[in-house]
Structure 1
Amino acid sequence: MIKVIIKPEILEKHREYIINKQIDKKLKKLQRNTKFFNIEYLNRLIDINKKKNYSTQRLFLKKFTFKEQKQILKQHVKFINYLIKEIDDLKNNENVTNSNNIFLANPKGLSQKKKDIERKFTYIYEFLNLQSKLQSEEKNRRNTYSSELRDCLGYSEFSNEKMNYYYKYELERIRLLRDIDRYKNKLMLSKVPNLYSEDNLNSIKQYILADINKINHYDKENNVLNEFLQVNLYQKIEKLPVINNKGKSIGIGKFCFRIKEIIDNACCILKNDRNIQNISISIRNIDVYNAKYEKEWGAYHFLMNLGIKSCPYCNRQYITPIYSENGKVRADLDHFYSKAKYPYFSISIFNLVPSCKFCNSSLKGTADFEYNTNLSPYEDGFGDKLKFSFEIKSYEDFLGDSRIRIYLQEKVGALNDELDFLRKAKGNMKAFQIENLYNYHTGEAMELIRKRIEYSDSYIENLIKDYNEKLFRNENEVLEAILGYQVEDECLSDKNLTKFTRDICEELGFVFRKSTAQSYKDVQQIINKYKK
C-alpha cells in the first residue's frame, strides 16, 4: 500500500467548497423532517433487529413508545446542530492543517470524531447502523435517513461533478463546424460584391478569415482545436490563390467551390480525428483548467489535484481520472468509513480514498473498515515495515514455468506503535488479498532476478564511468533505465508495481537508497547456480 499526501492547498479548496454550498440550510430543513422517526417505522427496525441481532443497544431491543420516540427525535435535532456547528467552525477557522473539523480531520481525527458521535448521539449512531444493515439486505439505496444526510451534505453533487460548462462554448463551435451547411451559411458568401476581380476575391478571403478568427478563440488547454483550425482552415484558405496561371481572377464560382472544398475536408477530419474526438481534461492540463475555473471543486478536481496514477491500496491497477464530454469517466472514490453507515463522513476529505474499481467494488465493497483494524493510505503506506520478498523453491523453478512464492516480510519491532501498524496493515492485506494477487506477478520477480544476474555491480559502475555524467548522472539513473521505474518514495504512485519492484530490487542488491544499501538475499548463490 502506498501513502498519499493531501496538500494544504487541496484542504483549503475543500474547506471553501463546504462553506459555499449552503449545507447548513439543507441540514436545517432535514432537522424539521421527522418521517424517519415515526413509531411504525422504528418498530419495523426493532422487529428486524430481533431476528438479526444487529444492535445490542437497549433502545432497539423493545417496542418503541412515544417516550422513546421523543428521545431519538431530540437526539436527531442535537445531531443536526452538531453538524451545522462543524460548518460554522470552518467559516471561523482558516487553519486547514491538523484540523479536527469533521470535514478536514485526518484519519486519527476522524476516528476521534466517530467516537464522539457514538458517545454523544448513541441513538442516531445505532439507528444509522440498523438502517445500513437493512439497506444492504434490501438493496434500497434511497429514502433512508442516511441518504437524506448525504444529500444535505452534497455527496451526490460532489461525486458526480458536472463540468460540461467547461466545454459549452467550445462544443458549440465544434458542432458549428460539424454542421457543414450551417457553417457555410455563416460565411455569408451571398453578400459579396457583384464584381469578382482579384481584389474582390482577396477581400472576400479576408472576410472569411476574420470569421474563422472569431471561432479560433481556444485557450491553450484546447491546443488540439487551435492547431486544427489553424492548419485545416485558416492556413489553407489564406494560401488559396485567387488568380489562375494566366494572371487572371479565377472567378467567384471556382473560388466558392474551393472554399467549400476546404471546409468539407476540415469537417471530415473533425468527425474522424481521434485527437479531437477525445479532447478531455487530464493530469497534463489540470493546472490550466484550474486557473480558468479556480472556484470549482468536486471529486474529479480532487482526484486530479492529488495527481496519483496508481491505486494506493494495491499499486497494481491504474487510476484514470479522465473527463470527456459525456461526463462518465473518473476514478473510484472509496469511503474508508462506509457512506451508508457513516453518512456524516461522506464528504470528509480524508475519508475519500482514490482507488481502482477492483479494490473498491470487488474486494472492499461494503466491508466495515475501522481506524483500529485497517490502514488508511492517508495515514501510512507499507513502506519499509512490510516489504515484498520472494522464495525460490528450487533452481528448476527459476528456469522453468513453476511459480516462485511472493510474500510480504514484516520488518517491525516490538514497540506499540509498530505493532499497531502491523495489525492494521494485516487488515488491509486480508481485505485486498495482497499476497494472493501479487503471486500473479512471479514472472516480474523472475525477470528482475535475471536482470540482477545480467547487470552486476561492476557493469553498472562501468556504465557510469564510461558515460561520465553525459547520459547517467548517478547510479540511480542507471538502475531506473535498466528497470524502467523511478522508485523514489515520491514516485511510487506514478506507476503500477513500483513498491514491489523496489522491494525486490533492493533485496537483490540493486541499491536505491542509502538506508537499504545491504542486500540480505544471497544473489551470488543464484548466480552460481545459473552458471552451472
Structure 2
Amino acid sequence: MIYINPTNSKIVLARNLYLEKMLPLIFERIDKLTDRIAINYFDRLINDYLEDILSGTPELLAKLNEELTPYDSAVLKAIKYVFNYDWFTDKCVKRYDAYDLAYDLDVITCIYCNRLYTNTVITKNKQKIIRPQFDHFFDKDSNPLLALSFFNLIPSCSICNSNIKHGKKFQLKTHVHPYRDYIIDDFNFTYDYTSENKSGLRILINSETGSKIEKTFEDMFLETVYNSHISELKDLLELKSRFSDRYLSILSSNILGPSIPISQEELYRLAFGVELAKEDFYKRPFSKFKNDILKELNVI
C-alpha cells in the first residue's frame, strides 16, 4: 500500500479545489429536498458541518459520522440523495465530477496494490475517457454521510476496489488509511521456495504480527494477488543469476558510457522500469515490490 502525503502541495491544491467546487453543488442538492423532517435535520445539524464532511481529516470524518448519522429513515434517504456517489461519477462537461478529482490528484498507480496503472485521461475537447476508481475507506453503504468525503475517496484499480475490498468494513483503528498511515518502511516483500506450485517460488509480505498492516493486507488479499505475478520475481532472480551484483554500474559504464550523464534514479528506472525514491513509488507499478527484492538480492 502506498502512502498519499496529505501535506503534498498537489494534494493540498486538489483538496482545496474539491471543496471549492463541491460545496455549492451539495447545497444545490440540499435545496431540492422536500421532506420536512430531512430539511430540519440538515438545517440543525448537517449544514454547519458541510466543509468538514467534504474535506475533513479521516479522524474528523469518523467522529462526525458517529455524531451526525441519524436513525430516521427519511433523513437517511435524504443523506443518500445529497451525498450520492453515482451522481458524482457521472461524466460531466459543465460541472466538477470524479474525473476532475482524479485528474487533480494525479495518482497513476493503484494505492492499494501498486500493480496497475490508474491514469486519468481527458481529451483536449474535455471528453473524459478513463480514470481510477475511488474506493470508500469507510464503505459508503454503511456510511452514506461520507460517500463524497475527500479523504474517504481512495484512488484504486477496479480489481482492488470492486473485486476485493468491495464494501468490507474498514476502520481507522483496525486498518491502514492511505492518507493517514505511513507504512512503507514497516513491511517488506520477500520470497521463498516452495513445492506447492509449478514455479517453485512464492512471494511473501513481512509485517508485524497482529498489526493493522497485517490485517489490511489480509483483507485485501495482497500476498495472494502478488503471487499471480511470479514472473516479475523470476525476472529479478534471472537478472541476479546472469549478471553480477554490480549490474547497475555495468549498465552505466558499458552500455550508456561516460558521454551520457544519468542520475541514479534515472538509471534505476531504465534498468527495472520502477521508481527508486519511496515518495515516487506511486508513479510506477511494482516499485515497492521490486525495490525490496532487489535489495534482498544485493543488486541495489
Q: Same fold (TM over 0.5)?
A: yes
Distance in 2 between residues matched to 1:460 and 1:28, nearest whole Å:
62
Task: Trace 1:358-507 onto structure 2 (pairs within 5 A).
Answer: 358-380=159-181, 382-393=183-194, 401-410=198-207, 423-465=211-253, 469-507=258-296
Amino acid in structure 2 at the alignment position of 1:430: E
| Counterpart contact for 2:140–2:167, Cα < 8 Å | no
1:333/1:478 CA distance change after superposition, 3 Å? closer
Pairwise CA distance, 1:154? 5.5
Deviation at 1:155, TM superposition (A): 3.8
Distance verdict in 2 for CA 1:471–1:349, change over 3 Å? same
Residue by residue over 1:381-403, the C-alpha shift from the partner in whole angstroms, topping out at 9 and shown as x without a partner, is 54121111001248xx9xx9433
AA aligned to 2:278 is D
Q: 2:151 is paired with a residue of what secondary structure?
A: helix
**In structure 1, how many angstroms separate the alpha carbons of the residues matched to 2:26 and 2:245?**
62
Distance 1:462 1:403 in 2: 30
With structure 2 as the length reference, what TM-score do the two structures score? 0.83
Aligned residues: 293
For residues 149 and 67 of structure 2, the distance between their equivalents in structure 1, rounded to whole angstroms, comes to 16
Q: 1:350 aligns with which of 147, 151, 157?
A: 151
Superposition deviation, residue 22 in structure 1: 5.5
2:45 maps to 82
Per-residue CA deviation, residues 321-351 of structure 1 (Å, 9 max, x unaligned), is 3357886744321111122221211111001
SS in 2 for 1:493: helix
Structure with a larger share of its residues in strand: 2
Give the Å deviation of 1:147: 4.5
CA contact (8 A) 1:310 1:495 kept: yes
Q: Deviations over 1:122-158 (max 9, x none)?
A: xx2xx37xx7xxxxxxxxxxxx754531322464432
Q: 1:471 to 1:429 in 2, by over 3 A?
A: same
Structure 2, unmatched stretches of 5+, are none
Where do residues 316-335 of structure 1 align in structure 2 (5 Å cutoff)? 316-323=115-122, 329-335=130-136
Normalised by the length of structure 1, the TM-score is 0.49
Percent of aligned pairs with the same residue? 23
Give unpaired runs (5+ residues) of structure 1.
35-75, 91-100, 132-143, 166-295, 413-418, 512-532
Shift of 1:26: 1.5
Q: CA deviation at 1:434?
A: 0.7
Taking structure 1 as reference, are residues 423 and 306 closer, same or farther at Cα in structure 2, changes over 3 Å only?
same
1:11 aligns with 2:20: no
Take 1:146 and 1:310, find their aligned partners in 2: how far apart are those partners? 34
Instruction: Summarize the alignment of residues 227-238 of structure 1 with structure 2, pairs less than 5 Å apart.
Output: none
Whole-angstrom CA distance in 2 between matches of 1:427 and 1:459 = 37
For the residues of structure 1 that align with 2:78 and 2:258, how far apart are their CA atoms? 62
- Any residues of structure 2 matched to 1:154-303 within 5 Å, and which? 155-163=85-93, 297-303=96-102
The residue correspondences of 1:21-36 to structure 2 (distance < 5 A) are: 21=25, 23=27, 26=30, 29=33, 32-33=36-37
- 1:315 partner amino acid: N
Q: Which structure has the highest helix share of the two?
A: 1
Q: Confirm or deny: 8 A CA contact 1:315 1:496 kept in the other structure.
A: yes
